Amino acid sequence: MGTRPGTFTITTFWIDWAVMPFMLGLAGLTVYWGVQDWHTAARIGSTLPGWLAFLPLVVSAPGFILLGLSMLVKEPYWEHRGVWLGQVLLIAGCVLGATAITYSLLQSDKNSGIGGALSLIGLVSVTGLLLLPAFYVNAEPGSYHMGYAVWFGLLILAVGFLIAGRWMGYPFVFPKFALGLCSVYSFGLGLMEVCFRRISFNSLLYIWDFRLGLDMFTQQPEAAGAPVLGVVKMLLSVTIGVMLFVVAR
């Protein structure tokens, strides 16, 4: 994984190409939400500047594009670095969103209140679950189960607080992006567990260590309970999607 190849080849695998339009759609929707937030800030007279409400989403949008483009590359060296950069941009979007809410709370913005505080906790939780695997790269394999449990706990915590923030009337859309991100990750990791019968937490470690390849996931022993956990994750993803639609209305 550490040796730079002399080639750059595009895959012809249809599934990889099928994912790309989905990622482009997510990127476009993210920018659209950002424009909405910019106009919302002016419409409701928020102390949060429109550009600051727009920034978390416009930074995150290229992350989805990079994740999609990375899947089209055959060489693991380039794919790995594209996935890593896409992940970094998505984390940056969550951090900027948390910063924006913190700013409005410190300004005693009447539009933030409890909904803003709940959304802030949710965004911090999403940032934590995206960063958590980086701390397990050099850990003993026996500790992966604890990391998996903490990751799943952060996922539930993030979803709960983000939905509660929307229900409490937080007017900006950018926390909804993080909620959608939880749904995408939950479905993708659940699908891996159902298909490969292996715990998917190891695949997240791959993102943060350029020395690793995805064989660290495929070579691990099968786990009898992995498909069941995978189905739970996929059902959770669908539930998040339904809730996202409900709170968006």
Contact by Cβ (8 Å): 60, 151: no
| Residues 6 or more apart in contact with residue 18 via CB below 8 angstroms | none
DSSP state, residue 220: S
Whether the per-residue pLDDT at 247 is higher than 70: the answer is no
- Long-range pairs, 34-39, Cβ under 8 A, ≥24: 34/58, 34/61, 34/173, 34/174, 36/173, 37/172, 37/173, 37/174
What's the whole-number average pLDDT of the chain? 84
Q: Residue 105 is encoded by which pair of tokens?
A: 């709370």
Band of pLDDT at residue 55, cut at 50, 70 and 90: very high
> Tell me, what amino acid is at 241?
G
Which residue matches tokens 């803003």? Answer: 116
Residue 99 to residue 189: CA distance in whole angstroms: 28
DSSP state, residue 133: G
pLDDT of residue 127: 93
Residue 117 to residue 161: CA distance in whole angstroms: 9
> 125-176: per-residue pLDDT in tens?
999 989 998 888 777 766 777 888 888 888 888 888 998 898 888 899 888 8
Average pLDDT over residues 12-21: 77
Q: Residue 100 is encoded by which pair of tokens?
A: 């924006």
Q: Measure the CA angle with vertex 157, ends 153 and 159; round to 5°.
A: 120
> 69-128: per-residue pLDDT in tens?
888 887 777 888 888 999 999 999 999 999 999 999 998 888 888 999 999 999 999 999
Average pLDDT over residues 235-242: 84
pLDDT of residue 212: 64
pLDDT of residue 119: 93
Residue 193 to residue 226: CA distance in whole angstroms: 5
Helix (H) or strand (E) holding 121: helix 113-131
pLDDT of residue 184: 82
Contact by Cβ (8 Å): 37, 97: no
Q: Residue 249 is encoded by which pair of tokens?
A: 């209305």
Whether the per-residue pLDDT at 242 is higher than 70: the answer is yes
Q: What is the pTM of this model?
A: 0.86
> Tell me, what amino acid is at 173?
V
pLDDT of residue 81: 87
Band of pLDDT at residue 216, cut at 50, 70 and 90: low
Average pLDDT over residues 213-238: 76
pLDDT of residue 57: 94
